[in-house]
């Protein structure tokens, strides 16, 4: 399973990386990972007009897009479109941050899963 990873370096620049989830077990119900820490869940509805300029993440968290995409640009210039069903881990809680923008004017529902 692939997760997009948004992180900040020691100079405050934000970058994209990739995480592959390791499987801890496999059985009749499929594969599962090891249990990972989380501190809650936040439900979010974002309007199709969403266009948020440079900002750091408010906390380290996984974001799961449920039904629409978001375009995110990091300070090193790389842009990714994170589609429905995709997961990203944001850890740029300081530094230059990132820009977020709705795609095609679609409202987006997502889950935020804080990890600290």
Q: Where are the domains of the chain?
A: 2-22+38-114
> 2 CB contacts (<8 Å, ≥6 apart)?
18, 19, 20, 21, 86
Report residue 116's pLDDT band, with 50, 70 and 90 as the boundaries: confident
State both tokens at 17: 């990386």
Name the maximum alpha-carbon separation found in the chain.
47
Is the pTM higher than 0.75?
yes
CATH number corresponding to 2-22+38-114: 2.60.120.10
Report pLDDT digits (tens) over 69-91: 999 999 999 999 999 999 999 99
Task: Give the three-class secondary structure for 95.
Answer: coil
pLDDT at 114 over 90: yes
């Amino acid at each position: 399973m692939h997760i997009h990873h948004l992180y900040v370096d020691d100079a405050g620049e934000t970058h994209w990386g990739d995480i592959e989830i390791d499987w801890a077990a496999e059985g009749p119900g499929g594969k599962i990972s090891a249990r990972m820490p989380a501190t809650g869940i936040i439900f979010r509805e974002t309007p199709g007009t969403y266009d948020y300029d440079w900002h750091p993440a408010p906390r380290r968290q996984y974001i799961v897009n449920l039904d629409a995409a978001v375009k995110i640009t990091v300070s090193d210039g790389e842009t990714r479109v994170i589609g429905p069903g995709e997961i990203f881990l944001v850890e740029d809680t300081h530094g230059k941050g990132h820009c977020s923008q709705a795609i095609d004017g679609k409202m987006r529902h997502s889950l935020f899963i804080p990890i600290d």
